[in-house]
Chain A
Amino acid sequence: MQSTYKMDFTEELKKCVKCGTCRAHCPLFVELKGEPGSPRGRLALIKRLHDGKIKPSQELADIVYTCLLCKTCTVNCPSGVISDEIILAARDSLNQSMDQSVIKKALLKGFLTRPALLHSCMSMASLYQKTGMHNVLTKSKLFELLPDKLNAVTKIMPDVTKKPARSRIPVVTPAKGEKKFKVAYFLGCATNHIYPDVPVAGVEVLSQNGCEVITVEGVKCCGMPHMAYGEVDTAKEMAKQNMDILLKEDYDAVISDCASCSSTFKETYLHIFDEGSKEYEQAKQLADKTWDISDFLVTKTGIKPGTKEQKVKVTYHDPCHLKRAQNIFKEPREVLKNTPGVEFVEMKDADRCCGSAGSFAVMHHDLSMKVLDKKIENAQKVDPDYLATSCPTCTMQLSYGLKKAGSQAKVVHPVQILAETYK
């Protein structure tokens, strides 16, 4: 079995002793039931493919793609099996040996790589929501490619008529007060286009806490969505461009407000380039420099909040790519607890996946909704004004879930509440 994603399938698969512990932790298995829906089952089939006993097939691809990549099985595996990475590598391998379905190719290759197209599709999605003009949108490229997923997309997609963050933030924002750091702010696709208020707040908070902030231009999508669909080659191209741009100047840090982007920089790039290559060295440098924004605020700058009290009750949902991929979970809570007036309440199973996993919520809509319902139930029990989180796809999913449940609570990034205190 070949994969561009660096993976020694023989060694990694050997570690699985089939104890079944992962059955206890996988948020999808609870809903799917049946061994093929368990991480152990998926790995057993990938091993069989690796052993040459079965051939790539649509059925196998379906099973391998029915995974949130939430890492819950990985962090709980007694034998140290890195299931989520094996899944990523297997998807890449399947991609190389199978006919690509039109959906994936189009959605990813021509989509996130071209920011302008992304924005126009997002805007159209929003238009669709508002007017219900089915025929206008079914004519658009995206929805032609996603006929049966159309409903799912339009249900989850938020209102995206806002101007992208890129056009609202200057390239250079000076530090307010004494300058302690010069940082690059990576504008990820989703916060830039869908939740532009997040980077606007992020830049403000960093500048208030002694950072000169550069919203570096020319960057691409981090590549995580491509990787999730086994498009490692495309992801590599994006990685190269991002690394060239972000490492060109000697920034003290590269900051991201998106858990997936930061975990991709810190972890995933290292898995797609050959050790010893120039790109691998760059990936190491970028990994060392990358910070999640809450982590940077708590660990490096310290937080000096503004004076305007917020008087809100807030709970926090841990994105998989922050808690399990980066072991960051105290820091966003610290940001919230340091925000004047915030009453912080912990909800049950705060670190359980919300079921969004990028486009999983679209591709496996019903399943994703079952995972979401559990999350929303727990959130509603603490009755918050805000459900904070640090990932735009979680935000999209949680917002949809809250709305569906008739809740008034809003989903925000922790820095958005902190930013309000400076107003």
Chain B
Amino acid sequence: MVAKEQLIKDLEGMFGVQKVLKSELERYTYTYDSSFVSQQTEYFPDVVVCLESTEEVSKLMKYAWDNEVPVTPRGAGSGQTGGSVAIKGGIVLDISGWNEIVEIDDINMQAVVRPGIVHASLNQALSPFNLFFPPDPGSSAMATVGGMVANNASGLRAVKYGATFQYILGLEVVQPNGDIIKTGGMKSKALKSVSGLDLTRIYCGSEGTLGIITEIRLKVLPKPQARGIMLALFDKLEDSALTVLDVFKAGIIPSGIEILDDGGIRCANMYKPELNIPEVEAAIFFEINGTKAGVESEGEQVKAIAEKRARSVEWATDADRMAKLWQGRAVIGAASARTVPGKTRIFAGEDVCFPISKVPEALRTIKNISKKYDIPVVIYGHIGDGNMHTAPIMDPLIPDEVQRTHKVAEEIHRLALELGGSTTGEHGVGFARTSYMEEEHGKALDVMWAIKQAIDPKGIMNPGKIWKLGRE
């Protein structure tokens, strides 16, 4: 690898000094994302470049390839696994400033964007066309669509609409050696294509380990006409999960099914006192959308099902009340930071996914793990697809609490594997979860590695992510 001073000089020569960040202070701001692990270590990149064109990215990769310099792509750095942190040094490519919407084709229901466009901004731009891009992470306000594709992100409405990969028609990708390829339907406007191996699917969720995504063709959907929200309160955690299963059995797929445990309800009340939700063991929010008649009829059916076990059920179609209720759910990720004065919530062991049949058991066991280590854990999340968020509330300045929190996270990950689930439903592997990969995938991990080696034989793309450093 070329010496750091030379590297900086070369990059400044190629892209101009403005696009190259090299001081210690500037580089420090690229040592973290939202994950707790990244904030406990200090992996400095040697240099950061901020680029905004395919040609520039291609030039950068050719240079990195020739000189065998690691490159770590970075969007907003809202990831929760350290994915965008350069743990082997080298170059961080900050692509978040490249946020152009190249095209919105409302008739063919698709959009072409550059990777830095923020999820919420894209949906704002689609709104006048009565269209929307359905995957909706809680980080919508800051996450880039490039980062979403790289992590195959999903969100509150995944139960009905699924994850990002379902909406990617094609990609432009700069290969580790600088070559530019277009996958799937990037060049066509066909909504379907089964021509050849599905490369799009391989890059989606590749976490920057296979190449740099520089353009994305997305399928977008018409916005539903109507929406309603139901809040059901349960004295027993298990009853909430059983109700969700009954709703599916009745043939209804709500657009969102979200849970708050007692800690979550407490947070919601603290943050928004006007919500005043009774402190039961679990609250479930159902969101139903579609045609006006459909929403009414499905709403009534879900209400009847919930009433069998719930202490109370509230069904709202009034916009104001809906906004308030949904806000009650939306504030939790954040509000949990405020539950205990002097403590904060961290992002660690955040997004395990259980088979939906095992959710009741999982919820109870997580509560017990929290008790065992005396670290409060607020549980909330997408119960409709078994994807749970577990927010540890702790003081990062007390080493013993940090230790215990790591153990809580470890046990929650193990629990997911034991119950036949996954260690990550939406945030990805990064370097936070590489140690679970063997166990979760067995021989399949070797096949993944074979693909990685075929595309990136020099191992310069985001080393140390998905696979542990040193695997080569």
Q: Please report A residues at the B interface, Cβ cutoff 8 Å.
A: 10-11, 14-15, 17-21, 23-25, 33-36, 38, 40-41, 44-45, 48, 54, 57, 59-60, 63, 78-80
| A24 touching B142 in the complex, CB below 8 Å, given contacts A11-B342, A45-B28, A59-B23 | yes
Q: Does B397 contact A (CB under 8 A)?
A: yes
Report how far A45 CA is from B142 CA in the complex, Å.
20
Do the beta carbons of A63 and B345 come within 8 Å of each other?
no
Do the beta carbons of B29 and A41 come within 8 Å of each other?
yes
Residue in contact with A36 in the complex, picked from B29, B76, B333, B335, CB distance below 8 Å: B29
| A17 touching B347 in the complex, CB below 8 Å, given contacts A34-B21, A79-B337 | yes
| A18 touching B25 in the complex, CB below 8 Å, given contacts A33-B96, A78-B335 | no
Do the beta carbons of B28 and A48 come within 8 Å of each other?
yes
Complex interface: chain A residues within 8 A of B34 (CB): 17-20
List the 10 closest pairs (A to B, CB-CB), nearest first: A78-B334, A33-B97, A24-B141, A41-B29, A35-B29, A79-B337, A20-B78, A20-B142, A24-B142, A23-B142
Report how far A20 CA is from B137 CA in the complex, Å.
14
- A-facing mask of B328-359, CB < 8 A → 1, else 0? 00010111011000101111000000000000
Report how far A38 CA is from B65 CA in the complex, Å.
31
Do the beta carbons of A36 and B342 come within 8 Å of each other?
no
Residue in contact with A35 in the complex, picked from B30, B141, B395, CB distance below 8 Å: B30
Q: Please report B residues at the A interface, Cβ cutoff 8 Å.
A: 21, 23-26, 28-30, 32-34, 39, 48, 50, 76-78, 94, 96-97, 118, 120, 139, 141-142, 331, 333-335, 337-338, 342, 344-347, 395-397
Report how far A48 CA is from B347 CA in the complex, Å.
20
Report how far A329 CA is from B21 CA in the complex, Å.
40
Do the beta carbons of B346 and A45 come within 8 Å of each other?
no
Residue in contact with B337 in the complex, picked from A15, A48, A63, CB distance below 8 Å: A15
Report how far A19 CA is from B397 CA in the complex, Å.
18
Do the beta carbons of B25 and A78 come within 8 Å of each other?
no
Residue in contact with B345 in the complex, picked from A17, A25, A40, CB distance below 8 Å: A17
Complex interface: chain B residues within 8 A of A23 (CB): 76, 142
Closest to B76 in A: A20
Closest to A38 in B: B29
- Give the Cβ gap from A90 to chain B, nearest Cβ, in Å: 13
Complex interface: chain B residues within 8 A of A79 (CB): 334, 337-338, 344-345
- Give the Cβ gap from A217 to chain B, nearest Cβ, in Å: 45
Complex interface: chain B residues within 8 A of A40 (CB): 29
Residue in contact with B39 in the complex, picked from A18, A24, A54, A78, CB distance below 8 Å: A18
Do the beta carbons of B94 and A19 come within 8 Å of each other?
no
Report how far A63 CA is from B29 CA in the complex, Å.
12
Complex interface: chain A residues within 8 A of B29 (CB): 35-36, 38, 40-41, 44-45
- Give the Cβ gap from B227 to chain A, nearest Cβ, in Å: 24
Do the beta carbons of A54 and B21 come within 8 Å of each other?
no
Complex interface: chain A residues within 8 A of B32 (CB): 18, 44
Complex interface: chain A residues within 8 A of B50 (CB): 33-34
Do the beta carbons of A45 and B25 come within 8 Å of each other?
yes
Do the beta carbons of B77 and A78 come within 8 Å of each other?
no
Complex interface: chain A residues within 8 A of B30 (CB): 35
Report how far A258 CA is from B142 CA in the complex, Å.
33
Report how far A57 CA is from B333 CA in the complex, Å.
36
Do the beta carbons of A20 and B39 come within 8 Å of each other?
no
Report how far A78 CA is from B338 CA in the complex, Å.
9
Report how far A147 CA is from B24 CA in the complex, Å.
30
Q: Show 23 residue pairs from A and B whose CB-CB distance is below 8 angstroms, ordered by the A residue.
A: A17-B346, A18-B32, A18-B39, A19-B34, A19-B139, A19-B347, A21-B142, A23-B142, A24-B118, A34-B50, A34-B94, A35-B26, A35-B77, A35-B94, A36-B21, A36-B25, A45-B28, A48-B28, A57-B25, A59-B23, A60-B25, A79-B334, A79-B345
Closest to B140 in A: A24
| A18, A33, A45 — most chain B CB neighbours (10 Å) | A18
- Give the Cβ gap from B119 to chain A, nearest Cβ, in Å: 10
| A36 touching B26 in the complex, CB below 8 Å, given contacts A21-B142, A24-B118, A78-B331 | yes
* Given contact pairs A18-B34, A20-B139, A36-B21, a sample of 8 additional A-B residue pairs in the complex whose CB atoms are under 8 Å apart: A17-B337, A33-B96, A33-B97, A35-B29, A38-B29, A48-B28, A79-B344, A80-B338
- Give the Cβ gap from B438 to chain A, nearest Cβ, in Å: 29
Report how far A399 CA is from B258 CA in the complex, Å.
49
